[in-house]
Amino acid sequence: MAHFVGLDVSVKETSVCVVDDAGKVLCERKVPTEPDDIAVLLTSIGGDYARVGIEAGPLSQWLVNGLSEAGLPVICVETRHMKALLQAQQINKSDRNDARGIAQMMRVGLFKPVHVKTLAAQEQRMLLTSRKLVQRKLIDIESDMRGTLRNFGLKVGVVSTVGYEARVRHLVEGFPRLAAIVEPLLTVRRVMRQQLATLHKMLLDTVRHDPVCRRLMTAPGVGPVVALTYRASIDQPQRFVPSRAVGAHVGLTPRRHQSGELDYDGGISKSGDTMLRTMLYEAAQILMTQSRHWSWLKAWGMKVAQRRGMRRAIVAVARRLAVILHRMWTDGTDFRWGREPDTTGTAA
C-alpha cells in the first residue's frame, strides 16, 4: 500500500503526517527539524512511500537534499499554490492541519513542484546576494553622510570614490564635533569597500573558471555579474524544453486577464526571480543605449522602439536576451553577431 507524507516545517520542529492511498491518517507526530530525525520516523512507520511533500522555504533546500539522500521521494511544492489549497481545505490553521493538508495534496497529486537548486547554484547565489548587500549598505552610508553634512551647509558635491573620504575630512576640519561623529562612518566605509572588493574578486574568479559564464558573456550587454546571475538562477537549462519559456519564468511576458467578455493583456507579470529580471533589464538597457557594437539584436530592439517606445523595447530585448542566453547554453555556441539564426528566431 502506498503512503503519502506531508511535512510542515518550522525552525525547531516539523509536523509529520502520513496517509495511505485511501486518505486514512496513519501517523501524526512532531519531530526535530533534521533530515535524519524525519527519515528515522518514516522508516520506523514502514510502507512504500510514493511522495513526500514539503513547502518551499528557507530550510526546504537543505531538507530536500537530506531526505533525497535517505532514499525518500521528496517533492518541494510552490508556496503560493500550496497556501491557496490549504486555505480552501481548512478553517483553523495549525501545523497539524497544514501537514495533513499537504499529505492529502500529495495523495491526489494536486500540487505544483518547484526546482531545488544544486549546491553550486546556491553558493553562487549567496555570493551574488552578499556582494549586493555590502554594495547597497555602502551606498547608504555615503548617501547618509552627504545628506547629514548638507544640513550644516557642507556640500560634498561630485567627487570620485577614491577622493570621497578626503573630501569629507576637509569639510569637517572646522567642526570638531562633526569630525568625531563622521570618523566612525568613514572607518566603516573603508572596511566595507575592502570587503566589497574581495567579494567582487571572488565573483570575477568564479566567472573566469566557469565555461558557461564565459560563453554567456559573448552576448552584447552581458557582463560577469549578469552572466553569473543567469547561471545561478537557471541552474539546469534542461528544465526549460522550449527556450521561450525562460521569458515567462522570469516575469518578462505580458500578464493575461480574461473573464467573460473581458480579454486583455496587461503589463509584464514580474513573477519569478527578481534579481535575474533586474539584471536582464540592465543588460538590455546597456545594449540599447550604451553599447557601441551593432548587432542584429540591437537592430531588432530599435525597430520595436520606433513602434512602441524605448521602455517597452528594453523590456522586449530583455525577454529575448533571456531566451537567447538559454539557447546558447543548451547548444554550446557563442552569440552570433551577424544575421539572426533560424533556431533562435523560432525559440524567441
Residue 235 has pLDDT above 80, yes or no: yes
Asked whether residue 340 falls in the same domain as residue 222, the answer is yes
Q: What is the pLDDT of residues 267-303, one digit of tens each?
A: 898 888 999 999 999 999 999 998 778 889 999 999 9
Contact 179, 173 (CB under 8 A): yes
Q: What is the pLDDT of residue 271?
A: 86
Q: Which of 209, 239, 261 is the last residue of a domain?
A: 209
Asked whether residue 306 falls in the same domain as residue 255, the answer is yes
Helix pair angle (119-150, 274-289), 10° resolution? 70
Indicate whether 313 belongs to any domain: yes
Asked whether residue 235 falls in the same domain as residue 248, the answer is yes
State how many domains the chain has. 3
Neighbours of 248 (CB within 10 A): 17
Asked whether residue 137 falls in the same domain as residue 89, the answer is no
Asked whether residue 218 falls in the same domain as residue 337, the answer is yes
Distance CA 310, CA 282 (A): 13
Q: What is the pLDDT of residues 30-48, one digit of tens each?
A: 999 999 999 999 999 888 9
Q: What is the pLDDT of residue 292?
A: 79
Q: Of 240, 236, 247, give the one whose Cα is nearest residue 270.
A: 247
Neighbours of 81 (CB within 10 A): 17
Q: Which of 108, 135, 150 is the last residue of a domain?
A: 108
Indicate whether 113 belongs to any domain: no
> pLDDT averaged over the chain?
92
Q: What is the pLDDT of residues 77-106, one digit of tens each?
A: 998 888 888 888 777 889 999 999 999 999
Question: Beta strand pairing status for 48-55 and 74-77?
Answer: parallel
Q: What is the mean pLDDT of residues 218-226?
A: 95
Asked whether residue 193 falls in the same domain as residue 91, the answer is no
Question: Beta strand pairing status for 254-259 and 25-32?
Answer: unpaired
Global confidence as pTM: 0.87
Asked whether residue 234 falls in the same domain as residue 341, the answer is yes
Asked whether residue 97 falls in the same domain as residue 145, the answer is no
Q: What is the mean pLDDT of residues 227-235?
A: 96
Indicate whether 114 belongs to any domain: no
Q: What is the mean pLDDT of residues 118-123?
A: 93
E strands present in 169-295 = 254-259, 262-268
Note down the domain range covering 33. Answer: 2-108
Q: What is the pLDDT of residue 340?
A: 52
- Binning pLDDT at 50, 70 and 90, where does residue 339 land? low
Q: Look at the alpha carbons of 56, 59, 62, 65 in this order and tell me if their dihedral is positive or negative.
A: negative
Q: Which of 209, 237, 257 is the last residue of a domain?
A: 209
